[in-house]
Structure 1
Amino acid sequence: MSADPSTAEEIMAGVHHALREYGYADLTMQDIADACSKSKSLLHYHYDTKEDLLVAFLDHLITTFERCVEAGRDRPATERLVEFIAWFGFDPDETDREHFHIALLELRSQGPFNDRIRSRLQRSDRVFRDTVAEIIEQGIEEGVFEPVDVTETAALLVATLDGARTRQITLGELDVDGDTYTRTVARTLIDRVVDPILVDGVELPDVSSVEVLLPRDEPVAVPAVDDSPSTGDDR
């Protein structure tokens, strides 16, 4: 059963908090209930299993990203593309973001074995690639990008950025030439992939100063609502 919008948002915030704190493997429904101040029985009323809830959470993340992209469509293509590239970068002191992405990486590892999770991962990848392709097409129409194969270019950018973030959180490669691995890769992509397709005379905003309006995995305030005792299966 689907929760009403307000309750659903609180539960999704609870999943976010609990994943950061416990990771994917050790996460229980009780952990999520505690994080959103709901009863475990309420969670089971809306989501039969932990898998149902995590699948809903992945849908929530993708939908939130899509809404942010839609809200920023009136910005110049150069700004939007640099923003997307900057979105993947994070600093060593952003431990909450790192813990959250480690948990997501654990969850992603279930893709080969779980059709429902794999379908969400495929949707997420498709949304990212389509977003970049749409931005490049916008830039070509605006006359700031040279005509290129937008599908190939989008696939290259997404694969490289996703790989850089995975490498940083799994291998601990945090310092490359005085900066984090993801930020170094971001600058390299701009130098090697984006700059060459710029029309003469067009300049890009600096990746370190561009305003990032896409969702940045920050903690969400969760109001206390329900103290009723929990029941039901912990998993």
Structure 2
Amino acid sequence: MAATHSALCKRGYAELTMQDIADESELSKSALHYHFDGKHDLLVSFLEHLLDRFEERIAAPDGEDPAERLHSLVDTMVTPPEPRSDGFQTALLEIQAQAPHDEDYRERLERFDEAFVSRLRSLVAAGVEDGTFRADVDPDEAASLLATYLKGVQMRHVAAGHSLERSAAVIHRHIDERLVAGETTVVTLE
């Protein structure tokens, strides 16, 4: 999977070939074809691998209370898992663009979305339950909105170079102003 990652970063989705992946690995192209029917099959397996890594990344955000954990999760989502991952983020966006036309990609990407929204929902619900968040906050609506914000932040960063830090500050401010009960500390834009 490391070879697939490396080849995707270098070539992008549209230009990626099995030979590119073989060149990044210790396997021959024929050995790759022994394990995978083709580029599509390999990329579906790669998405499965990414989903496992993603679920590990979001499983236990740092923090003493649900608000801190939610802020930590926002920071996790706007911080690339590896430095200089712009090429990979671009390739992943290209794969996402194929999802409306490819059921296998769409199914895997839906699982990413479900895992992410579920994690957000559980943090918001815990905050409502323990009084960290306002009692009138709907965990489903808040999770859906935050997921949409965060996905938009990532897409705008990759596609148009928008600042992750500035966008994250807006989301942090939304959490503090709209979700947190009582007195809040507002994150300001610099």
TM over 0.5: yes
Equivalent-residue separation in structure 2 for 1:165 and 1:128 (angstroms) = 14
* Residue aligning to 1:221: none
TM-score (norm 1): 0.70
Give the 3 Å change call, closer, same or farther, for CA 71–158 of structure 1 in structure 2: closer
Q: Which letter does structure 1 place at the counterpart of 2:171?
A: L
**Per-residue deviation, 1:110:** 0.7
* Corresponding residue for residue 22 of structure 1: 11
1:189 & 1:72 partners in 2: Cα distance? Answer: 16
Question: What CA distance in whole angstroms lies between the structure 2 residues aligned with 1:43 and 1:129?
Answer: 34
Task: Name stretches of at least 5 consecutive residues in structure 2 with no aligned partner.
Answer: none
Post-superposition Cα deviations, 1:56-89, rounded to whole Å, max 9, x if no partner, equal 1111111112133335589642232112211232
Percent identical residues: 36
| Aligned equivalent of 1:49 | 38
Question: Which residue of 2 is the match for residue 184 of structure 1?
Answer: 166
Q: Which amino acid aligns with 1:172?
A: G
Question: Does residue 1:132 correspond to 2:114, yes or no?
Answer: no
Match of 2:142 among 153, 156, 160: 153
Shift of 1:201: 5.0
Q: 1:113: Cα distance to partner? A: 1.0
The offset of 1:36, in angstroms, is 2.4
Match 1:68 to one of 57, 61, 81: 57
Which whole-Å CA distance do the structure 2 matches of 1:143 and 1:90 have between them? 28
Q: Which has the higher contact order (CA 8 A, sep 6+)?
A: 1
What's the TM-score, normalizing by structure 2? 0.85
Q: Displacement, 1:200?
A: 2.5
Q: Counterpart of 1:111 in structure 2: which amino acid?
A: A
> Shift in Å at residue 26 of structure 1?
0.7
Asked if residue 114 in structure 1 is aligned to residue 102 in structure 2, the reply is yes
C-alpha separation in 2, matches of 1:84 and 1:71: 9
SS at match of 1:67: helix
Q: Distance in 1 between matches of 2:144 and 2:2?
A: 30
1:101 aligns with 2:83: no
- 2:77 maps to a residue whose letter is F
How many pairs align?
185
Equivalent position amino acid for 1:22 in 2: R
Instruction: Verify the 8 A CA contact 1:144 1:202 in the aligned structure 2.
Output: no
What is the RMSD of the two structures over their aligned residues, measured on CA atoms?
2.4
SS at match of 1:121: helix
Aligned partners of 1:120 and 1:22: how far apart in 2?
Answer: 22
Q: Tell me, which stretches of 5 or more residues in structure 1 are unaligned?
A: 1-11, 174-179, 208-235
- Pair 82,73 (structure 1): closer, same or farther in 2 beyond 3 Å: closer
Q: Is the CA contact (8 Å cut-off) linking 2:66 and 2:127 kept in structure 1?
A: yes
Moved over 6 A (4+): none
Classify 1:186/1:74 alpha carbon distance in 2 versus 1 (closer, same or farther; 3 Å).
Answer: closer
Tell me how far apart the structure 2 counterparts of residues 153 and 80 of structure 1 sit (CA, whole Å).
Answer: 15
The verdict on how the C-alpha distance between 1:171 and 1:67 changes in structure 2, with shifts beyond 3 A counting, is closer
Which residue number in structure 2 is paired with residue 80 of structure 1?
Answer: 69
Retained in 1: the 8 A contact 2:61–2:73?
no
Of 168, 181, 186, the match for 1:199: 181
**Structure 2 CA distance, aligned partners of 1:116 and 1:82?**
32
